[in-house]
Chains A and B, each alone.
Chain A
Amino acid sequence: MGVLAPAFFAGLAAIAIPILVHLIHRERKETVAFPSLMFLRKVPYRSVRRQKLRHLLLLALRVLAIALVVFAFSRPFLDRPVAPSAGAPDGREVVLLLDRSFSMGYGSRWDRAIATARAIASEARATDRISLVTFGATASQLTDPSGGAERVRSVLSTLQPTSEPTRFAAGFRMAGQILSASDLPRKEIVLISDFHRFGWTPNDEVTLPPRATVRSVDVSRGETEDMAITGVAVARRQDGSRVRAAVTARATNLGQRARTVNATLELAGRTVETKTVTVLPRATAQVVFTAMPVAAAPTRAVVRLAPDSQPMNDAFFFTVAEESGASAIIVEPPRPRANQSLYLSRALAVADDPPVRVDLTSALPAAGVRGRSLIVLNEADLPGGAAGEAIRARVTEGAILLVVPGERGMVGLTPAWTDALPARVGAMTDRAEGGRWASVDFSSALFEPFAVGRADFSSVTVTRYRQLTPATANAQIIARLDDGSPLLIDRPYGDGRIMVFALSLDAHWTDLPFHPLWVPLMHQLARRSIAGSEARSWFTLPHVLDLSREGTVTVESPSGARTRVAQDSTRPMVELLERGFYEIRGGGTALGAGRPVAVNVDLAESDLSHFDPAELVAAITARGQRGAVASEPAEFTGTAQELERRQAIWWYLLLAALILLGAETLLANRLSRRPVEQPATGVT
C-alpha cells in the first residue's frame, strides 16, 4: 500500500477538532441569561474536567470519519498488482515513457513524475508486461518487459533528471519498437512529462503499432519563476604582451516579476568577480565583468547565479583562451586568371585584428578545410564527395563559405550543394555603361561596421555580374545593384554562413578591389569568420565531439565517467550528454591538465512554455495514420485525472466516512434528547 499525496496526512491534525469539541463542548455561540451564576461558580472545576470526555462513541465516530477523509485525500493505492477481473481481455504491453529532460527538474515535477510512475507500475496486473523507457534527447530502455512492475519500481527509485533537452520523438520511437515486438493484444504507452513546447516539432516522424493506446500524464503545474544564464560573449584585446578578455553574460528572467540576482564569474575554479543585476520580467539583462588576463591555453570559466527552482540553467560553462586569429583558404580554378585572388589574399594578409593566415590552392582535399574559418571558392569547382562534406561540416561548426561563380558558373553542383547554397546562379549580365552598388544591408553582420557614417558603396562600378536568385527560405539579399539585382546573398548554415557573390574578386567585372572599402570589407569578412568560433567555447547538449585529430585520448565527463577513444577506432568521437566540463587527455597528460570542453544545456529547454498533451497525442495519432506501417489511431484515454480515478480506494474511504457521519448525526440527535425541556425564556 502506498499513497500518492502523503502531504495530506497533515490533515490528521483535524482530529484534534472533535476532541476539543468534546472537551470544551461549546456547540452553540448563543448565551443563556440566567438569574445568577452564584451556584454554578461553586461547582468544583475539578469535577468538570474529570467528566469532560463523555459520549466516547460519538467522539470515536467523528475521529474515525476525519481519519478516513484524510486517508482518502492522500490517494492510497495498492502496491500489489490488481487481479484481472473475470472476462477481461488478456494482458497489456505497457511502456512507461518517462521524460528525464532537465526541465523535469523544475520544482517538484520530478517527484510527481516518479510518484505517478510508481502508481502506474502498481496498476499492472499479473498478466501485463511493463517496461520503463526514459528519454531526453535520446531514449533508453531501462527495464525489460519481462522484469515486471517490481523491477520498474526499483529502477525508478534510482533515477534523476538528465541535462538533456526534451525530444518526444526519440522516446516514442523506442516505445513503438517495444510495442511492435510484443504479441500481447493490448498495447499501451503511458507518457509522463512536463510537455515542454520545444520537445516536439512537426517534422518528427513517429510510427506506433496498430491499436496502440497513448495515455499522458502532465506533471507540470504552470510554474513560471526562473532565472537563467543564456549565453556569454568574450571580447579580447591586446594589452601589452598579454591578452585580456572581457566576459559579458546574458541573464534572462523567465518569470513574471522582476528579480535582482548576483552573477559570479569563476575562472579556473576561483571566483573572480560578482555583479548584481536586476532583470525585468520576461527580459534579459547583460552582466559585464571586468576584463581579465587570459592564458594561451583554454581555461575553464563559469558564470553562476544563485540556484533557484531550475538549477540546471543557473550556471553557464565556457572556456577562455587567447584568440589564435582567422585562417582563410582560397580555392582557385585549375587555370585562374592572372591576379584572380591577388587582391583578396593581399587584403586578408595585411589584417592584424585578428591576424589572418591565408592559403591559396587549386585543389582542396577534405583535410584542407580543417581549422579554416574562411573558405573562398573563387570561381573554383564546387568540391564533391568527402571534400564537399568536409566544407559543409566546417561551415556547420561556424566557418564562412564564400562562393564566387564568376566566369565559370556553378561547376560541380550536386543536390547537397543545391540544398546548402543560398542562391541559384543564373546567366552573366553585362552592364557596359557601368552599374552601381545601390544598397547594402547595414543590419547584416558583414556590413554592420560600415553603418557608422553610412559608407558609400555607390561609387563601386560594376560592368558584369551573375544573376542570383534566393534559393532557401532563410536566404537574405544583403547587397543589390542599382537595377535591383542581388549582388550578395547570405544564409546561416549550422553555426556558420554561406554567401554567394555575383561579382568577381578581382578587377575583371568591378573596380571594387580598388575601392577604399575593399580592405575593411575583407577584414570584416575575416573577423566574422572567427566570430562563430567563440561559440565553440562551449557546446550545447547533446553534441557529438569529433576526436579524429586528437589521437588516442581519454575523455572524462563532468560526473567523472571516463571513456577511452582510440585513434584507430571506427568512430573516434564521444557524445556529450552532461553539462559541465569534459576533459580530454592524451596519453601523458596529467589529471586536470587536459583540454577542457564546456557543455551547457539546451537553453530552449529553459523556456517554460507548455503545450496541451492532447496536441501531442493527436499529432502522433495523425502521423500513425499516414505512416508506412498501417496504424490504427491511437486513442487518448485521459490525463492525470483519469489516472487518479483508477485508484479507487479513496472513493470507498469517502463512502465509509459518509456512512460514519450519518451514524454520528443519528447518535448525536439521540443524545441530544432529554426528559427535561429547555425553558422557553431566558435565551438571549
Chain B
Amino acid sequence: MTTPRATGANLLDPTVLARIGNLEMRAKLVVEGFIQGLHRAPHLGASTDFAEHRPYMPGDDVRRVDWRVYARTDRYYVKEFEADTNTNLMILLDVSRSMSYGRKLPYACTLAACLAYFSSLQRDRVGLATFANGVVDYVPPSAKHLQLVLHSLDHAERGVPAKPEPIATRYRQVFQRLADAVRRRSMVAVISDLYEEPDDIVSAVNTLRGRGNDLMVLHVLDPGERDFPFIESTNFVDLESGETMPVIPDYLRDDYRALVSQHVTALTRRLTGQGVDYALFDTSQPMDKALFRYLGARRKFDRARKAG
C-alpha cells in the first residue's frame, strides 16, 4: 500500500517526533502539518449541512422557520440541519509487552494521539481503550475527552503497567468487552502489532463490527520484526509468554521473513474482505498515512450513515 507523502512531512518523521516529549504537541504538529499538505480548511465536516424542510409544528423555534420558502409558498417550513454530524472515534490501543519492542509503543501512542487530535478538530467525540490481556485503561468517547485521552496515552507511552507475568494480548475477550462498552455506532481504530493468527484476529475484529462500527486496523511493526537483522546465535525470549528459544538467526532469517510476509498478506486479505480497513505501519515511516486512512474512513462512514 502506498500513501501520498504530504508537504511538511518532515514534521511527520517519527525520528523527529520522537524528540518531542509532549504528546499533544506531537499530535498537533502531525495533524496541522498534514492539513497544510492537504490545502484544506481546518474545520472539515462542520455540522451546518442542510438536511430537509418540514412543516412548522407548534413549539418549534420560530428562528428556524425558513422565511424564503414562506415567501414562495406562503407556508411555514422549518429547516432541518444535520445537527448531529459528530462522530464517535474509539481508539483501541494495544499496550501488551510485545508493543514495548523497539519504538512501537511510542509510535502507536503518537498515532493514537494524532487520530484523537484530528478527530477533536472536527468536533468528533473521541475515546480510548488501552488493552493487553484485558482492558488496561478506558476513556469513554466524548467531545471533551481529548485531554483525558492524551493523558492516558501519555501514561501508556511511559510504560506498560508493571505486572509479575508477561502480558499477552487477548484480542477476542478484550474486543468483546469493548464492543459492549461502545454502545453508539462508532469508528473504531485498532492499533496493535497483531501477534495472533489471522483467523483469530478477524474473528475478534468481527465482534466490533457487529454493532455497525466502522473499523480501521493499524498494524504497527518495528523494522526489526520485519527484517530480523540479528547476527549472533543466542536465546530469544518471548516478551509476552516468557518462553525462551535458542535461535541461529542466519538459518531462520529467510523463513522468518517469509512467515511475516505471509501473515501480513493474510491479514490484508482477510480484513479487507471483511470490509475492515487494514494498514501496516512501520515505525520508521511517517504517520500521515494513518491520517489519510482516518479521513477516508470518516467520509465513508458519513456516507454510509447518510445512506442508512
Closest Cβ of chain A to B242, distance in Å, is 10
Q: In the assembly, what is the distance between CA of A42 and CA of B223, in Å?
A: 20
Residue in chain B with minimal CB distance to A55: B250
Residue in chain B with minimal CB distance to A674: B231
**Are A31 and B235 in contact (CB-based, < 8 A)?**
yes
B292 on interface, CB distance cutoff 8 Å? no
B295 on interface, CB distance cutoff 8 Å? no
- Checking B231, B241, B260 against A37 with a beta-carbon cut-off of 8 angstroms, the contacting residue is B241
Q: In the assembly, what is the distance between CA of A478 and CA of B235, in Å?
A: 89
**Are A672 and B231 in contact (CB-based, < 8 A)?**
yes
Q: A31-B244, A40-B256, A48-B252 are contacts. A677–B234 as well, Cβ < 8 Å?
A: no
Residue with the highest number of chain A CB atoms closer than 10 Å, among B224, B227, B245, B259: B224
**Are A684 and B233 in contact (CB-based, < 8 A)?**
no
**Are A681 and B241 in contact (CB-based, < 8 A)?**
no
Q: A28-B232, A674-B231, A678-B230 are contacts. A34–B259 as well, Cβ < 8 Å?
A: no
Q: A34-B239, A35-B98, A684-B237 are contacts. A43–B232 as well, Cβ < 8 Å?
A: no
A88 on interface, CB distance cutoff 8 Å? no
- Checking B240, B241, B252 against A40 with a beta-carbon cut-off of 8 angstroms, the contacting residue is B252
* A528-563 interface bits toward B, Cβ cutoff 8 Å, 1 = contact, 0 = none: 000000000000000000000000000000000000
Q: Is chain A's binding surface mostly helix, strand, loop or mixed?
A: loop
**Are B245 and A26 in contact (CB-based, < 8 A)?**
no
Q: In the assembly, what is the distance between CA of A48 and CA of B235, in Å?
A: 15
B248 on interface, CB distance cutoff 8 Å? yes
Q: In the assembly, what is the distance between CA of A35 and CA of B224, in Å?
A: 10
Q: A39-B256, A41-B245 are contacts. A682–B101 as well, Cβ < 8 Å?
A: yes
* A30-54 interface bits toward B, Cβ cutoff 8 Å, 1 = contact, 0 = none: 1111111111111110011001101
* B194-205 interface bits toward A, Cβ cutoff 8 Å, 1 = contact, 0 = none: 011000000000
Closest Cβ of chain A to B161, distance in Å, is 18
Closest Cβ of chain A to B124, distance in Å, is 32
**Are B227 and A35 in contact (CB-based, < 8 A)?**
no
Residue in chain A with minimal CB distance to B225: A35
Q: In the assembly, what is the distance between CA of A242 and CA of B250, in Å?
A: 94
Q: A34-B101, A43-B259 are contacts. A26–B252 as well, Cβ < 8 Å?
A: no
A27 on interface, CB distance cutoff 8 Å? yes
Q: How many residues of B contact A (CB 8 A)?
A: 42
Residue in chain B with minimal CB distance to A30: B234
Closest Cβ of chain A to B254, distance in Å, is 9
Which of under 10, 10 to 19, 20 to 34, or 35 or more describes the interface residues of A? 35 or more
Q: In the assembly, what is the distance between CA of A209 and CA of B225, in Å?
A: 85
Q: In the assembly, what is the distance between CA of A31 and CA of B235, in Å?
A: 5
A679 on interface, CB distance cutoff 8 Å? yes
Q: In the assembly, what is the distance between CA of A426 and CA of B219, in Å?
A: 127
Closest Cβ of chain B to A41, distance in Å, is 7
B255 on interface, CB distance cutoff 8 Å? yes
Q: In the assembly, what is the distance between CA of A48 and CA of B229, in Å?
A: 17
In A234-255, which residues have CB < 8 Å from any B CB?
none
**Are B236 and A40 in contact (CB-based, < 8 A)?**
yes
A25 on interface, CB distance cutoff 8 Å? yes
Q: Which residues of A contact B195 (CB under 8 A)?
A: 35-36, 38
**Are B238 and A37 in contact (CB-based, < 8 A)?**
yes
Q: A37-B243, A48-B252 are contacts. A27–B232 as well, Cβ < 8 Å?
A: yes
Q: A679-B102, A682-B224 are contacts. A25–B252 as well, Cβ < 8 Å?
A: no
- Checking A25, A43, A44, A677 against B233 with a beta-carbon cut-off of 8 angstroms, the contacting residue is A25
B282 on interface, CB distance cutoff 8 Å? no
A676 on interface, CB distance cutoff 8 Å? yes
Residue in chain A with minimal CB distance to B224: A679
Q: Which residues of A contact B263 (CB under 8 A)?
A: 39
- Checking A37, A51, A682 against B251 with a beta-carbon cut-off of 8 angstroms, the contacting residue is A51
- Checking B104, B227, B237, B250 against A34 with a beta-carbon cut-off of 8 angstroms, the contacting residue is B237
Q: Which residues of A contact B231 (CB under 8 A)?
A: 672, 674, 676, 678
Closest Cβ of chain B to A331, distance in Å, is 100
**Are B240 and A47 in contact (CB-based, < 8 A)?**
no
Closest Cβ of chain A to B1, distance in Å, is 21
**Are B246 and A26 in contact (CB-based, < 8 A)?**
yes
Q: In the assembly, what is the distance between CA of A248 and CA of B70, in Å?
A: 149
**Are B248 and A32 in contact (CB-based, < 8 A)?**
no
Residue in chain A with minimal CB distance to B227: A676
Q: A38-B195, A43-B252 are contacts. A677–B101 as well, Cβ < 8 Å?
A: no
B214 on interface, CB distance cutoff 8 Å? no
**Are A32 and B241 in contact (CB-based, < 8 A)?**
no
Residue with the highest number of chain A CB atoms closer than 10 Å, among B238, B243, B244: B238
B143 on interface, CB distance cutoff 8 Å? no
**Are A40 and B245 in contact (CB-based, < 8 A)?**
yes
Closest Cβ of chain A to B163, distance in Å, is 16
Q: Which residues of A contact B224 (CB under 8 A)?
A: 679, 682
**Are A31 and B237 in contact (CB-based, < 8 A)?**
yes
B193 on interface, CB distance cutoff 8 Å? yes
Q: In the assembly, what is the distance between CA of A29 and CA of B104, in Å?
A: 26
**Are B239 and A35 in contact (CB-based, < 8 A)?**
yes
Closest Cβ of chain B to A13, distance in Å, is 23
Closest Cβ of chain B to A24, distance in Å, is 8
Q: In the assembly, what is the distance between CA of A192 and CA of B196, in Å?
A: 78
B148 on interface, CB distance cutoff 8 Å? no
**Are A32 and B234 in contact (CB-based, < 8 A)?**
yes
**Are B238 and A34 in contact (CB-based, < 8 A)?**
yes
Q: In the assembly, what is the distance between CA of A29 and CA of B223, in Å?
A: 24
Residue in chain B with minimal CB distance to A675: B229
B247 on interface, CB distance cutoff 8 Å? yes
Closest Cβ of chain B to A456, distance in Å, is 96
**Are B229 and A676 in contact (CB-based, < 8 A)?**
yes
Q: Which residues of B contact A681 (CB under 8 A)?
A: 101-103
**Are A31 and B236 in contact (CB-based, < 8 A)?**
yes
**Are A36 and B239 in contact (CB-based, < 8 A)?**
yes
Closest Cβ of chain B to A539, distance in Å, is 74
Closest Cβ of chain A to B200, distance in Å, is 11
Q: A33-B101, A39-B259, A677-B229 are contacts. A26–B238 as well, Cβ < 8 Å?
A: no
**Are B237 and A33 in contact (CB-based, < 8 A)?**
yes
Q: In the assembly, what is the distance between CA of A26 and CA of B260, in Å?
A: 25
Q: In the assembly, what is the distance between CA of A676 and CA of B229, in Å?
A: 5
Q: Which residues of B contact A54 (CB under 8 A)?
A: 250-251
**Are A674 and B259 in contact (CB-based, < 8 A)?**
no
Q: In the assembly, what is the distance between CA of A157 and CA of B213, in Å?
A: 98
- Checking B104, B238, B248, B260 against A48 with a beta-carbon cut-off of 8 angstroms, the contacting residue is B248
Closest Cβ of chain B to A186, distance in Å, is 60
* B-to-A contact residues, CB < 8 Å: 97-99, 101-104, 193, 195-196, 222-225, 227, 229-241, 243-248, 250-252, 255-256, 259-260, 263
22 CB-based A-B contacts, threshold 8 Å: A26-B233, A27-B232, A29-B235, A30-B234, A31-B236, A33-B101, A33-B237, A34-B101, A35-B99, A35-B195, A36-B195, A36-B238, A36-B241, A39-B256, A40-B245, A40-B247, A42-B255, A43-B256, A674-B229, A678-B229, A678-B231, A679-B223
17 more contacts with CB within 8 A, not counting A30-B234, A40-B245, A48-B248, are: A26-B233, A29-B234, A30-B235, A31-B236, A32-B234, A32-B235, A34-B236, A34-B237, A35-B101, A35-B238, A37-B236, A39-B256, A40-B236, A43-B255, A676-B229, A677-B229, A679-B102
Nearest 6 interchain pairs by C-beta: A676-B229, A35-B98, A25-B233, A36-B195, A39-B259, A679-B224
